Structure 1
Amino acid sequence: MSYTIGRLAKLTGLPVKTIRFYSDAGVLPERERTPAGYRIYGDEDRARLELIRTLREIGVDLATIRSLGDRRLRDVLDLHLKAVETQLKSLQRTRAVLRATLARDGDPAEEDLQRLHALGRVGAAEMELLLDEFVDEVGGDIEARHEWLTNLRDAMLPELPEEPTAAQLDAWLELAELLADEDHRESLRRQSRDFWSEERDFDAWHELNAQVMREALTAARAGVEPGSPESEPILDRILGLLGQSREEMLRVFDEHDPRAARLWELVAIIEDRPWPSEPTIAYGWIEATLRQLPGARS
């Protein structure tokens, strides 16, 4: 039987955009098109889509899925076992939401129902796909930026606990929304274009950033109040390292998209790690000092 991409989406429950992404990535080989150029799929594609979705749920990368034709039955069964274990984890997460909802008095609130609905739509596989798209779109055609985001990919993909709290579930769903936000992606591309287009020694840049972090963290942990007389020479040393004036550095903070920091905060909530992170503390101290010193613009 033949299906249009829209019909295949309804049968599998996968969005058209996702099926098109899998086709373009080569994990769902294209077999046929209509004279008008529309893709046509069959029962074999429908079955393969189910397999792809299962494999993505357990974290199998796209390159591995493309090479599935060479795998032994034992390997397939091993992957299937992992798929079952992933499904169990998903059920445990759903159980956690239901327990938290039913533990309250009265009928569930609208936010409880929304959480249950959204959790069913955003599993590990969907988050993997969102992150792949995020890296590709934000990385764009700048090779260095794309490589940097690829290296950060695993750190940006937290594992939702088997028994997540309501806060962790909400953070998981907000993270999915943030990764899918087209305005956020465009903002990151625009703000980072000049930095990544420049030829630079990245080893030296990392060392410079480490020095800046040490200066600011030492001040913050020592209790040096931003804007105090003691903070001014420290700020001047930091600006000297960066080769920027106060006005230039303030402009950087003014143009910075706070959603970038929110992404890492959500990851920390999901992984139950302390927040704020050291970079957030360091650059928060620098920004506060810049804004509170005499003569700084608000």
Structure 2
Amino acid sequence: MSYTIGRLAKLTGMPVKTIRFYSDSGVLPERERTASGYRIYGDEDRARLELIRTLREIGVDLATIRSLGDRRLRNVLDLHLKAVETQLKSLQRTRAVLRATLGRDGDPAEDDLRRLHALSRVGTAEMELLLDEFVDEVGGGIEARHEWLADMRDCMLPELPEEPTTVQLDAWLELAGLLADEDYRESLRRQSKDFWEGDIDIEAWQEANTQVMREGLAAAQAGVEPGSPESAVVLERILAVMGQSREEMLRAFDEHDPRAARLWELVSIIQETPWPAEQTIAYGWIEAALRKLDG
């Protein structure tokens, strides 16, 4: 069945002006005109107008609707859902900051305004991009190091809860700043260069690290005092596993950038997981034991 633009307007309840705009902008593709130049529409156009109205009501932009001729509706709606969810998370972050700010007496402090401004610029998408840049830059052209960092990437991307606390929001912003810190990136590249450029068996190294962590954690949890004769025995087992001397292992602790531990602490704060983590406890005990015996 064919309809004039006036008839189509009555059937759909949509103003003639709106239908003409959709036609002129390509959202409603033109199909036919009379000899006098008047547009003719059909049932397909009527159905498409209903779809356009629905999509516009849920916020889909005209450019996306225009592209529907080349894309499945399901794919368009899936992309729109992801965009809406991202917007909701951003609004939830802003709401949390506003609630915390208004919950205190007096006018907002400078920190409150800074937090609001920063959060408008650092959402999940921005954090994803920061992490990609971090992995690529710290990887520094060494394939094995890049692959290892890529495997760690998801662990470094915590998800903010729907109702984040001010502490979690501050941790989120600090994490973004740390990942973007050029000095920190350079420090990681420099410290790990010799290790990753060497002839290393990654599986054997990971297995040794796991064993060392278990030894250190067991000693810490058992209350073995760093510097005691018992701790010396544990350290000898650890050094044997790592194939290092006390001096070599202590030098590694001296050269370790403390910002790496802070990164994982920030992730823990955002995720609300226990801190310090078991690995941090284990290596903290090992370092303390080494320094006691060295002193």
Could you list the per-position Cα deviations for residues 191-224 of structure 1 after superposition, in whole angstroms to 9, with x for gaps in the alignment? Answer: 1111111122211111111111111111000011
Determine which structure has more spread, i.e. the larger CA radius of gyration: 2
Give 1:217-228 correspondences, 5 Å limit.
Answer: 217-228=217-228
Could you list the per-position Cα deviations for residues 25-53 of structure 1 after superposition, in whole angstroms to 9, with x for gaps in the alignment? Answer: xxxxxxxxxxxxxxxxxxxxxxxxxxxxx
Q: TM-score, normalised by structure 2?
A: 0.75
**Cα distance, 1:247 vs structure 2:** 1.1
Question: Which amino acid in 1 is paired with 2:128?
Answer: E
List runs of 5+ in structure 2 lacking aligned partners: 1-68
Instruction: Mark the CA change 1:220 to 1:114 in structure 2 (over 3 Å): closer, same or farther.
Output: same
Cα contact 1:90–1:162 (8 A) shared by 2? no
Q: 2:260: which partner in 1? A: 260
Q: 2:121: which partner in 1? A: 121
Q: TM-score, normalised by structure 1?
A: 0.74
Instruction: Mark the CA change 1:71 to 1:273 in structure 2 (over 3 Å): closer, same or farther.
Output: farther
The separation in 1 between residues aligned to 2:173 and 2:100, in whole angstroms, is: 16
Q: 2:143: which partner in 1? A: 143
Q: Does 1:232 align with 2:194?
A: no
The separation in 1 between residues aligned to 2:207 and 2:145, in whole angstroms, is: 18
Q: 2:280: which partner in 1? A: 280
**Cα distance, 1:260 vs structure 2:** 0.9
The separation in 1 between residues aligned to 2:203 and 2:225, in whole angstroms, is: 31
SS in structure 1 at match of 2:150:
helix
The separation in 2 between residues aligned to 1:259 and 1:270, in whole angstroms, is: 17
Farther off after superposition, 228-237 or 166-175: 228-237
Could you list the per-position Cα deviations for residues 44-103 of structure 1 after superposition, in whole angstroms to 9, with x for gaps in the alignment? Answer: xxxxxxxxxxxxxxxxxxxxxxxxx98523202211122112211211111111001111
Which runs of 4 or more aligned residues in structure 1 lie more than 3 Å from their structure 2 counterparts after TM superposition? none
Could you say what the CA RMSD is over the residues aligned between the two structures, in angstroms? Answer: 1.4
Question: Which amino acid in 2 is paired with 1:184?
Answer: Y
SS in structure 2 at match of 1:276:
coil
The separation in 2 between residues aligned to 1:70 and 1:152, in whole angstroms, is: 37
Q: 2:198: which partner in 1? A: 198
Give 1:102-121 correspondences, 5 Å limit.
Answer: 102-121=102-121
The separation in 1 between residues aligned to 2:185 and 2:105, in whole angstroms, is: 41
Q: 1:64: which partner in 2? A: none
The separation in 2 between residues aligned to 1:153 and 1:254, in whole angstroms, is: 25
Q: 1:189: which partner in 2? A: 189
Give 1:57-136 correspondences, 5 Å limit.
Answer: 71-136=71-136
The separation in 2 between residues aligned to 1:102 and 1:225, in whole angstroms, is: 48
Q: 2:214: which partner in 1? A: 214
**Cα distance, 1:229 vs structure 2:** 2.2
The separation in 2 between residues aligned to 1:203 and 1:155, in whole angstroms, is: 19
The separation in 1 between residues aligned to 2:137 and 2:76, in whole angstroms, is: 32
List runs of 5+ in structure 1 lacking aligned partners: 1-68
Instruction: Mark the CA change 1:257 to 1:84 in structure 2 (over 3 Å): closer, same or farther.
Output: same
Question: Which amino acid in 2 is paired with 1:180?
Answer: A
Identity of aligned residues (%): 80
